[in-house]
Amino acid sequence: MHPSTLYGMRDAGLLEQLTRGVYRLTELQGPSRYDVVAVAERAPGAVLCLVSALDFHEIGTQIPSGVSIAIGSKDRRPKFDYPPVRVYRMSGQALTSGVEEHSIDGTTVKVFNPAKTVADCFKFRNKIGLDVALEALRETVRSRKATRDEIVKYAEIDRVSKVVRPYLEAME
């Protein structure tokens, strides 16, 4: 589509600009998680992680202040005017294991599964807070969104199993 056609449709009220380069028809209902959709459209290789993944899986009470994404250690950091994005770098199995693909309003969104998200919360506990990691662990086990063995498996991949195990043992 030619840019002048796109801008003409926007000016006529037929399109709504969600963020730079992402538009939607105004007659359609807005995306339920438009910030996540906007990030997934502009950074398709990124994986939703940490507090954003907890919110996606409805674990805990944390409200994300921005969209947290994981990218490869050598990937170019995506730039966004809006929504605010927090970028975490991972490599190898830490980036590729536990990835699920979900469809939100026709857009494919990659997100870490609950067990991997809990392990990541412990890995990045100095950045997001130990209280967030502990709440995620408690809620995930209590709601049976992941088993203890799954959490330990991903904690070993993230090299935080020695940190996670004492908390799992204390919960028994």
pLDDT tens, 106-135?
899 999 999 999 999 999 999 999 999 999
Model confidence over 77-87: pLDDT tens digits? 998 888 899 99
44 and 73, same structural domain? yes
Res. 169: pLDDT tops 90: yes
- Claim to verify: residue 167 and residue 97 sit in the same structural domain: yes
Quickly state the pLDDT bin for 29 (edges 50, 70, 90). low
% pLDDT > 90, the chain: 70
pLDDT of residue 82: 81
At 32 the pLDDT is 61
Same domain, 107 and 24: no
- Residue 40: pLDDT above 60? yes
* Domain assignment of residue 5, given as a range: 1-29
Q: How many domains does the chain have?
A: 2
Q: Please tell me whether residues 79 and 3 are part of one structural domain.
A: no
Q: Please report the pLDDT score of residue 13 as a whole number.
A: 85
Longest dimension (CA), the chain: 62
Examine the domain organization and report whether 123 and 62 are in the same domain: yes
Residue 47 sits in the same domain as residue 74: yes
125 and 100, same domain (yes or no): yes
SS3 category, 40: helix
- Complete edge-to-edge strand list for the sheet that includes strand 107-112: 85-90, 67-72, 47-48, 107-112, 99-104
- The pLDDT mean for the chain works out to 91
Regarding whether 37 and 14 lie in a shared domain, the answer is: no
